[in-house]
Amino acid sequence: MKILVTGASGHLGSKIVENLVKRVPTADIIAGVRDTQSIRAKALATQGIEMRETDFDKKETLVEAFQGVDRVFIVSTRVDVEATIRQQTFAVEAAKEAGVTQMVYSSAPRADVSEFFLAEVHRIREDIIKESGIPYVFVRNNWYVENELGTVQQCLNGAPWVTSASEGKVGWVYRPDLAEVTANILAGEGHENKAYELAGENLTQQQFVDAVNEVAGKEIEVMNVDDASYGKMLKEANLPEEVVAISVMVQQGIREGGLENAHSDLEMLLGRKPTSVKEALQQLLS
């Protein structure tokens, strides 16, 4: 059985490949990358892993890359709705032409029902895959602990933790856990047409910062503000308008429960307790 991982030179995709190597023969793993000459791609090639170009904006690369492949992992990309439809349609058409028997897609929490603004493009992507008739698995990844590392570092250097998310909770999850689960699914059986919610501990901003303080031995202050003040502070920090707008929407979404998960399949699919936020921070800040 041949398994192709798109985005294999990225943070998530590379870790999926690392986990697959432990489960299936290297000869059965194919790394899909935009640039086969990149440093990360070459590093994978030195392990004896076949490299194939996969550019979601060039359907011909997908059709060629998917030849002889049984299962494909489709990494999500940060694009607008129009590009989302085009790229996912190309991926699905290529998979059908090549005879792919299963598509695994990295989606967002409760993508089919969530009102969180980031869920829309994932819902569109999921629907395109469903409509293809190809057996699918949706791994609905919650918010990475790694997403906060930039802010954590600023706070360790003396800045306060500024938030407008109030008491909203996030199901923070450690990226290596998600990669391990995805590899388990790609190499396993019995997952056809399933959607799995992959969340960790549901913590407020204050609880997350408490974990940072415990690990780092600091006393970072949490500053609670409204959305307008939060956006103003980001603008004063010279962040681009688009980044400011998205950051404010993330805070609003968290406050409204967009990233809190009442149910998670993570432990079941890992076969062990997920990495806690504190444990993840210990690894990331060491």
Check if the beta carbon of residue 2 is closer than 8 Å to that of residue 26.
Answer: no
Residue 260's φ and ψ, nearest 5 degrees, are -90, 130
The Cα–Cα gap between 117 and 110 comes to 12
Residue 189: exposure state from Cβ atoms within 10 A (0-12, 13-18, ≥19)? exposed
Beta-carbon count within 10 A of 237 CB: 12
Map out the domains of the chain with their CATH numbers: 3-141 (3.40.50.720), 142-174+200-261+271-286 (3.90.25.10)
CB-based contacts of 272: which residues, under 8 Å, 6+ apart?
none
Per-residue confidence of the chain (286 residues) as pLDDT tens digits? 999 999 999 999 999 999 999 999 999 999 999 998 888 888 888 889 999 999 999 999 999 999 999 999 999 987 788 888 999 999 999 999 999 999 999 999 999 999 999 999 999 999 999 999 999 999 999 999 999 999 999 999 999 999 999 999 999 999 999 999 999 999 999 999 999 999 999 999 999 999 999 999 999 999 999 999 999 999 999 999 999 999 999 999 999 999 999 899 999 999 999 999 999 999 999 8
Give CA 162 to chain center in angstroms. 24
The pLDDT, as a whole number, for residue 77 is: 80
Q: Can you give the pLDDT at residue 57?
A: 94
Q: What angle do CA 253, 256, 257 make, to 5 degrees?
A: 90
> Which residue is it, tokens 């299936």?
24
Predicted local distance difference test score (pLDDT) of residue 159:
94
pLDDT of residue 41: 85
What HEC string does the chain produce?
CCEEEECCCCHHHHHHHHHHHCCCCHHHEEEEECCCCCHHHHHHHCCCCEEEECCCCCHHHHHHHCCCCCEEEECCCCCCHHHHHHHHHHHHHHHHHHCCCEEEEEECCCCCCCCCCCHHHHHHHHHHHHHHCCCEEEEEECCEHHHHHHHHHHHHCCCCEEECCCCCCEEEECHHHHHHHHHHHHHCCCCCCEEEEECCEEECHHHHHHHHHHHHCCCCCEEECCHHHHHHHHHHCCCCHHHHHHHHHHHHHHHCCCCCCCCCCHHHHHCCCCCCHHHHHHHHCC
Q: What pTM did the predictor assign?
A: 0.95
